[in-house]
A and B are shown apart, each in its own frame.
Chain A
Amino acid sequence: MSIQEQYRKRAAELLASGEVKIIIGYGAGSTPDRRRALFIRSADDASLLHVDAACDANLSGYLVSEGLLSDRKKVGIFLRPEGIRSVNILAAESQLDPLQIVIIGFNVENGSLAALQGSGVNDFSSLISTLKESRSTPEEQALIEKIEGMTPEERFAFWQAEFSKCIKCYACRQVCPMCYCKRCIVDNNQPQWVHTSSHTLGNFEWNLVRAFHLSGRCVECGGCDRACPVNIPLRLINRRMAQEVLDAFDHFSGMSHTQEPVLASFKKDDPETFIL
């Protein structure tokens, strides 16, 4: 039986037995190579589920949809390892109870699909530890190093050119499981910290705020980067910030549902080489 068939069967069983009230998975998209989020409540619909290498969206953001978990019933969800880490962070930040989440895990390695064993967040802790130790070098590592090798003026010009494309559609924010604030800081106008207008300064400020708020929380699922309709390479900033918290504080986001958020905790001997 293919992984997809196994997973359809499992989803059907979870729904039929009443263990979960809904399954958040992937269905066919508008083109053969697209997959889209699919919400099913009946075992009969399990055949609509797809699991394959094209399932790249991190669905964990849907878990914090208003009212979904408030009845204390369980929800089944298809997640890649990054998605499982997102669930851990959401739990650590008191946004959900991990006991309500039944994970149907899968991974895509070198373009091929692999099943992941387990259903609760704790079942995947050794997998996540491995991910921390064997943090792969992304394709864009060369570009990150190139940017770091630039002078500040060149770096500024690079990002200015990228951010000038931004149209403030906030797709990066909306698609991100970590951006669950009821009211985002840019939507506040008393005080108005950053410009809401989509001129280059406003875009620059917005992108700094977004990156900062995700530092130490981002799991690098790539959702924002894929969502950006004007193709700003957000993955580069996210990658750089994830590296920073790993280097400075040995923090790999989403290790467990009890992990302390990196910017809401400290050690007395944290590095401080730059402070005069």
Chain B
Amino acid sequence: MTKILLRDRLDDCISRWHAAGLDVIGPVSKNNISQFDTIQKAGELDFGIILPDRTLKDLFFPQTEPMFRYRIGKQQIDTEEYLPPGRQRIVFGARPCDVSAMAIDDPLFGWDYKDTYWFKRRTETVIVTIACTSADEFCMCTSLKLAPDSPQGSDILLRPLEGNRGWLVEELTERGRDAFSLIEGLLENATGDPLPLAVVPVKFDLDACREWLQNPENFESHFWKEISMRCIGCGTCTFLCPTCHCFDFQDEGDTYTGIRRKNWDSCSFALFTMHTSGHNPRSTQSARWRQRIMHKFNYFPGKFSLNSCSGCGRCTRECPVDMGITETLQEITKLSK
């Protein structure tokens, strides 16, 4: 017998989670943008959107966060460390691509230095994922060998039932089971027909692309200049990418007292690689775009055996000049044939 979570029980579930001290977070559309936000009632959640404008990484790796405060005295330097607020959280209604992206970044944030900020938030958060039953023309999870119901990174996977009445519950991890034991009595022991999954066509040949990217001859290919000619060098694709994880440090304050913050940074920016001398090893936008593609589909898989892309398609969806990973990998697929 499987378990079913009915949609009209969701408010009761949220109350139970609140009572147990969990913050409940989900996709919310407000002020002309959709993103993950803390909610009080189920009605605040927007189940109508395929994917929020902003990604799940906001919850684990915010765009700016304080690391420590410093005060430089005559004798010594005092510092006071900031850590993420220790709140237990449950994310309800993330999508498999966004959640897979968190699983993709786990090895990155833990391979040599274990990133305190990332892992503190990861272990404090239970993720309830809803499988996709619809997709748009930019979705490309299948091209990354993922699927509209990929379980990677999820603690609970929900499959929407016919008539929008609720979800079939699949408990995937201990943490997920713990969170759902809090709403034990609210789940139905029943079964139902899940809606068919979204159909996401495969858009490029990932293995062929990897092979092409690995060939050193292609590093200086004219292709990179052609494909990135219209790139304007903004950070939209990187900041709205669930797996992009580059950051910069910034001290704010004055000479003697201030705060060190960790801010998102982007390989699309010329300043990203600018040396103090004024020399810039990635001096052109084509070199920067090549770096982004190489990092995601060659260097990262070389190190972690994972592609640093989960196929959410936001890069193409949001690009001001209609570029994106899909187009580039489609072109590379053509070149490799």
Residues of A within 8 A of B (CB): 29-31, 34-39, 57, 61-62, 161-162, 165, 167-171, 173-175, 187, 195-199, 202, 223, 226-227, 229-231, 233
Contacts and interface: CB of A to CB of B under 8 A. Distances in A.
A62 B229 CA distance: 9
B268 to A, nearest CB: 9
Nearest to B323: A36
Contact of B239 (A39, A57, A161, A169): A169
B266 to A, nearest CB: 7
A38 B233 CA distance: 17
B239 A36 contact: no
Interface in B266-320: 266, 269, 271, 316, 318, 320
Given A30-B327, A196-B250, A230-B54, 10 more contacts: A36-B322, A38-B230, A165-B33, A167-B54, A168-B235, A169-B234, A175-B321, A199-B64, A230-B53, A231-B53
B143 interface: no
Contacts of B81: none
A198 B233 contact: no
A61 B231 CA distance: 11
A244 B236 CA distance: 31
Nearest to B248: A196
Contacts of B83: none
Interface residues of B, number: 36
User: Which label, helix, strand, loop or mixed, suits the secondary structure of the B interface?
Assistant: loop
Given A36-B322, A169-B266, A187-B271, A197 B250 contact: yes
B320 A231 contact: no
B322 A30 contact: yes
B235 A170 contact: yes
Contacts of B318: 229
B321 A198 contact: no
Given A30-B316, A30-B326, A198-B64, A57 B321 contact: yes
Contacts of A175: 232, 234, 320-321
A196 B233 contact: no
B121 interface: no
B212 interface: no
Given A30-B327, A36-B322, A175-B320, A197 B31 contact: no
Interface of B: 31-33, 53-54, 63-64, 137-138, 229-230, 232-236, 238-240, 250, 252, 261, 263-264, 266, 269, 271, 316, 318, 320-324, 326-327
B230 A196 contact: no
Given A30-B326, A31-B137, A227-B320, A61 B31 contact: no
A230 B54 CA distance: 8
B33 A167 contact: no
Contacts of A30: 137-138, 316, 322, 324, 326-327
A44 B250 CA distance: 50
29 contacts: A30-B138, A30-B316, A36-B321, A36-B323, A39-B229, A57-B321, A161-B31, A165-B31, A167-B54, A167-B240, A167-B264, A169-B234, A169-B236, A169-B238, A169-B240, A169-B266, A171-B232, A171-B236, A174-B233, A174-B234, A175-B234, A198-B63, A199-B64, A202-B64, A226-B320, A227-B236, A227-B320, A229-B236, A231-B53
B153 to A, nearest CB: 23
Nearest to B324: A30
